[in-house]
Amino acid sequence: MKVSDAAGPASDQSNAVFTILTERTVTVTAPNGGESWEGNTSHAITWSSTGDISNVKLEYSTNSGSSWNTITASTSNNGSYNWTVPNSPSSTCLIKISDTTGPAVDQSNAVFNIVTPRTITVTSLNGAENLLANTTYPITWTSTGAISSVMIEYSTNSGSSWNTVTASTSNTGSYNWTIPASGSTSCLVKVSDTSGPAVDQNNAVFTISNVTYCASSGTSQTRGYIARVQVGNLDNSSGSSAYSNFTSLIANLTAGSSTSITLTPSTTNNTEYWKIWIDYNRDGDFADSGENVYSGSGKTTKTGSFTVPTATTKGTGRMRVTMRYNSTPTYCDSFSYGEVEDYTVNIQ
Residue span of the structural domain in which 283 resides? 217-347
Could you tell me what percent of the chain has a pLDDT over 70?
100
One domain for residues 78 and 187: no
One domain for residues 203 and 292: no
DSSP state of 28: E
Closest listed residue to residue 94, CA positions, set 31, 43, 25, 29: 31
Looking at the chain, the number of H-run helices and the number of E-run strands are 0, 30
One domain for residues 302 and 199: no
Q: Which of 115, 143, 169 is the last residue of a domain?
A: 115
One domain for residues 225 and 304: yes
Whether this prediction's pTM lies above 0.75 is answered by yes
One domain for residues 140 and 189: yes
**Integer Cα distance of 234 and 38 in angstroms:** 44
Q: Is 232 helix (H, G, I), strand (E, B) or coil?
A: coil
3 state SS for 304-342: EEEECCCCCCCEEEEEEEEEEECCCCCCCCEEEEEEEEE
| Structural domain contains residue 99 | yes
pLDDT for residue 102: 87
Mean pLDDT, rounded, for 295-301: 98
| Model confidence pLDDT, tens digit, residues 55-92 | 999 999 999 999 999 999 999 999 999 999 999 999 99
pLDDT for residue 319: 98
One domain for residues 196 and 242: no
| Structural domain contains residue 18 | no
Residue 191: pLDDT over 90? yes
| Structural domain contains residue 3 | no
Residue 196: pLDDT over 90? no
- The C-alpha angle with vertex 246 and arms to 244 and 250, in degrees rounded to 5, equals 155
One domain for residues 135 and 231: no
One domain for residues 307 and 290: yes
Mean pLDDT, rounded, for 167-184: 96
CATH number at residue 315: 2.60.40
| Per-residue exposure over 259-271, b if at least 16 CB sit within 10 Å of its own CB, e if not | bebebbbbeeebe
Q: Which of 209, 238, 264 is the last residue of a domain?
A: 209
One domain for residues 234 and 337: yes
| Model confidence pLDDT, tens digit, residues 223-268 | 999 999 999 999 999 999 999 999 999 999 999 999 999 999 999 9
| Structural domain contains residue 287 | yes
Could you tell me what percent of the chain has a pLDDT over 90?
96
CATH number at residue 202: 2.60.40.10
Residue 293: pLDDT over 90? yes
Residue 197: pLDDT over 90? no
Q: Amino acid letter at 150?
A: V
One domain for residues 230 and 163: no
| Structural domain contains residue 151 | yes
* Total domains in the fold of the chain: 3
| Per-residue exposure over 274-293, b if at least 16 CB sit within 10 Å of its own CB, e if not | bbbbbbbebeebbeeeebbb
| Structural domain contains residue 19 | no
One domain for residues 340 and 257: yes
One domain for residues 225 and 195: no
Compute φ and ψ for 183, nearest 5 degrees. Answer: -60, 130
**Integer Cα distance of 283 and 247 in angstroms:** 17
pLDDT for residue 331: 97
Between 243 and 102, residue with greater pLDDT: 243
Closest listed residue to residue 75, CA positions, set 91, 55, 89, 92: 55
Per-residue confidence band for 21, with pLDDT thresholds at 50, 70 and 90: confident
pLDDT for residue 8: 87
**Mean pLDDT score of the chain, rounded to an integer?**
96
With 0-12 CB in 10 A as exposed, 13-18 as middle and 19+ as buried, what is 326? middle
Q: Which of 209, 239, 261 is the last residue of a domain?
A: 209
